[in-house]
Amino acid sequence: MRLFVSEGAPGSLPVLAAAGRAQGRAELLISTVGPEECVVPFLTRPKVPVLQLDSGNYLFSTSAICRYFFLLSGWEQDDLTNQWLEWEATELQPALSAALYYLVVQGKKGEDVLGPVRRALTHIDQSLSRRSCPFLAGETESLADVVLWGALYPLLQDPAYLPEELGALHSWFQTLSSQEPCQRAAETVLKQQGVLALRPYLQKQPQPGSFEGRAVSNEPEEEELATLSEEEIAMAVTAWEKGLESLPPLRPQQNPVLPVAGERNVLITSALPYVNNVPHLGNIIGCVLSADVFARYSRLRQWNTLYLCGTDEYGTATETKAMEEGLTPQEICDKYHAIHANIYRWFNISFDIFGRTTTPQQTKITQDIFQRLLTRGFVLEDTVEQLRCERCARFLADRFVEGVCPFCGYEEARGDQCDKCGKLINAIELKKPQCKVCRSCPVVKSSRHLFLDLPKLEKRLEEWLGKTLPGSDWTPNARFIIRSWLRDGLKPRCITRDLKWGTPVPLEGFEDKVFYVWFDATIGYLSITANYTDQWERWWKNPEQVNLYQFMAKDNVPFHGLVFPCSALGAEDNYTLVSHLIATEYLNYEDGKFSKSRGVGVFGDMAQDTGIPADIWRFYLLYIRPEGQDSAFSWTDMLLKNNSELLNNLGNFINRAGMFVSKFFGGYVPEMVLTSDDRRLVAHVTLELQHYHQLLEKVRIREALRSILTISRHGNQYIQVNEPWKRIKGSEADRQRAGTVTGLAVNIAALLSVMLQPYMPTVSATIQAQLQLPLPACSILITNFLCTLPAGHQIGTVSPLFQKLENDQIESLRQRFGGGQARVPPMPAVVEAAATAAPQQVQVLMDEVTRQGNIVRELKAQKADKNQVAAEVAKLLDLKKQLALAEGKPLETPKGKKKK
């Protein structure tokens, strides 16, 4: 067979990707021809790509060529794939051709390009979301995926044309784009020119007419509601009318939390942060914050949930930090463990346990696993050539060597792994190695070490993965990374180091060594649990009853998805292994990377000094969570999301709903008589709630947040259309209608308060306090929308939830965190020449302080939830600070801190 392709011809992309799938099934010669070459003798116009079969016949449509390659590889046709191919030809291609023509030939940008194709992209995203499958036709890649990927790649490889709200599309596109056949196809056709490589081809195409594809509205409820059957509406209304009686009884709180036979037991870990540094926003969203959302959601579902984390405290990194600061390693661990704990406390991370790895339990469990591996023949001994820094007089741990990657040439590769190409590296393979401490060139020395025999465990690992991955919620990047390791073949992995600060190796001849931190760091989850409860084995040696979810950034995947499972499988002690491995991509800062030394980016201990509440940080980080590809923190975008999504959308709706109850009905929820439109809204909210559940059960955290904002938009529109502020002044029927609209709206607000709880716990508690939401409704979230605030229910005092972020405020923060805070001394706590505000402003603030003080006292008297009290106390302290500034008084120095 011979395949003819052309550079810059978009149809060549999917056929080259499909050809890679059929590699080895038949002899294939690939020829690159000019776009004007007539390959098929009986066609009147030049046409590529073309597949010339051994029989002499030709295939010259993209889908036919791709289908042929898939059939060669043993693929079986199915109706859903055929439907996607029909849709691609009739719906997607005309829209996509117009978009590419506008972009490449006419130089248009933004919505002019995205408009024609937006509806098609939304259709793909919704199809992926509804089926909850990673691919268009199911759990495995099909012909449809390759054909659609090839069509879309020229446009979507520019992130500007991949709408961030289409999370399922993001994940699907990223998964396919990361596969080698697709990468090779893109390199061959686009030649690193991106979409501009298509210009010669597109310039020969007729100019598209006025494209009539209707843009997808941001307010799709009318279209969606029209698709609901009367039966679906009736079921939703029946559930709504049952109200609080539909809720199951609250689970009694356990201490300690332990698995219960016959129930859903969820064990959640977030990757243990190194103790020698301060986490930045990327670390926080990649591990602890993402895991916290899922832990809070699991508790709302009344699943038996244990969420744990802790600081990873052993290794050279700690020894080096101790040298830098003139402390002992233990003192460094104590110092930074407290820093981490305080940061996560401020971000409201709901750990059941936040432990550490420098404990006797860590030594005991690690040494036990090692002894079991040794006894079973899974530990090898060998002499290793290592890099030693003569100036520092020590062998260098992998992460304290830096040099040029031998595979891709990246100049800042670490001694264990290259962050650019992701390949594992032996430190002595680095070109131009340097000691990261003193920057001198290390020398190679020999040392005896112990290795985990991964090749001997490879078959067990593959059998376990074969049972675990189908039906699991491993993220696509995690699956790809593990497949890459297995494809390259596993190699023995060194598990010891020439250090003093670590878990001792219990073997004669190795008394001067400790375990490599990445052998025993993942065992830290077990020892942290053992320090929480002596019944830790009920969690960690109970794979039949426990679902283990592990959250991390993608660089931690090999150790959680391969090294620890191999250790546990080799130990043969019935360990609980990861069921769902959730890995994020990287979060960048503005146009670059976070750097503590250069003062670039916001680190965890700085966020609380910005004056922006923790819940706003949580919301924005989760809104831009790097799920399918890297994302970037942007101050401008944070301002926009706060002011549009929180202030104008969510906050506006919840405040209006509550204020109407207070203003028009004396603070009591009015009677509700649902019309057909109201019943349809109840059903639609129920549908969106169920979609939220489907997404979070699949740990699609960013997409589920969109469901909350969608319901809020529907609520705003519902109020706007029905105008209760006008109807309350009208006839009896109008006043009744105002009551129904207000009652339904405030119940939607109550639902949103519970859906928000995993994302913004303080805001959630504030809404629930304002609405006086009954405790069972605050603590349980089922799949139906219920009337939790029935007629006659009295709400509390309603006040705004969010504050506007101003341009000058954000610009000041951008300057501060753009590389300046490492150089600029902190502002003095005492402002000697503070200008006093006008007397009227001072009096307003004094009244606000008095009112807020009363709220705090009332909550404390009621023994309200600690988080709710803390939120109101924080507001009170902020108001007192504003009052002090307005009066020209010096600010009090916080306890424990010295004035500089």
pLDDT at 833: 30
What is the C-alpha R_g of the chain? Answer: 30
Candidate from 311-320, 404-413, 427-436, 871-880 with smallest mean pLDDT: 871-880
Higher pLDDT: 583 or 628? It is 583
pLDDT digits (tens, 9 = 90+) for 9-39: 888 889 998 888 777 667 888 888 777 677 8
Report the share of the chain in percent with pLDDT over 90. 52
pLDDT digits (tens, 9 = 90+) for 222-281: 334 436 788 989 999 999 999 999 999 998 888 999 999 999 999 999 999 998 888 889
Gap between the Cα atoms of 700 and 702, Å rounded: 6
Position 215 confidence tier, pLDDT thresholds 50, 70, 90: very low
pLDDT at 82: 84
Q: Is the pLDDT of residue 398 over 60?
A: yes
Q: Considering the chain, what is the average pLDDT of its residues? A: 86
pLDDT at 46: 77
Gap between the Cα atoms of 178 and 478, Å rounded: 12
pLDDT at 841: 53
Residue that has been written with the tokens 């190796």 in this structure: 505
Angle at 564 between CA 559 and CA 570, to 5 degrees: 145
To 10 degrees, what angle do helices 761-771 and 732-756 make?
Answer: 150
pLDDT at 883: 65
Position 597 confidence tier, pLDDT thresholds 50, 70, 90: low
DSSP code for 583: E
CA distances from 566 to 211, 227, 370, 487 (A): 55, 49, 12, 16
Q: Is the pLDDT of residue 405 over 50?
A: yes
Question: Which amino acid would we find at residue 76?
Answer: E
Candidate from 88-102, 285-299, 533-547 with smallest mean pLDDT: 88-102
To 10 degrees, what angle do helices 476-488 and 167-177 make?
Answer: 10
Give this prediction's pTM: 0.68
Longest dimension (CA), the chain: 94
In the chain, the domains with their CATH numbers are: 2-203 (1.20.1050.10), 265-367+503-604 (3.40.50.620), 648-794 (1.10.730.10), 839-887 (1.10.287)
DSSP bridge pairs for 385? 446
pLDDT at 104: 85
Q: Which of 131, 491, 500 is closest to 319 using CA atoms?
A: 500
pLDDT digits (tens, 9 = 90+) for 700-720: 999 999 999 999 999 999 999
Report the share of the chain in percent with pLDDT over 70. 90
Residue that has been written with the tokens 């990707």 in this structure: 17
Mean pLDDT for the stretch of residues 785-812: 94
pLDDT at 318: 87
Query: If 0-12 CB within 10 Å is exposed, 13-18 middle and 19+ buried, where does residue 41 land?
Result: exposed
Q: Which of 350, 358, 361, 349 is closest to 279 using CA atoms?
A: 349
Question: Which amino acid would we find at residue 605?
Answer: D
Q: Which of 415, 377, 368 is closest to 396 using CA atoms?
A: 415
pLDDT digits (tens, 9 = 90+) for 507-554: 999 998 999 988 999 999 999 999 999 999 999 999 999 999 999 999
pLDDT at 662: 96
Q: Which of 46, 87, 40, 44 is closest to 63 using CA atoms?
A: 87
Gap between the Cα atoms of 429 and 409, Å rounded: 12
Q: Is the pLDDT of residue 828 over 60?
A: no
pLDDT digits (tens, 9 = 90+) for 124-145: 988 888 777 888 988 888 899 9
Q: Is the pLDDT of residue 835 over 60?
A: no
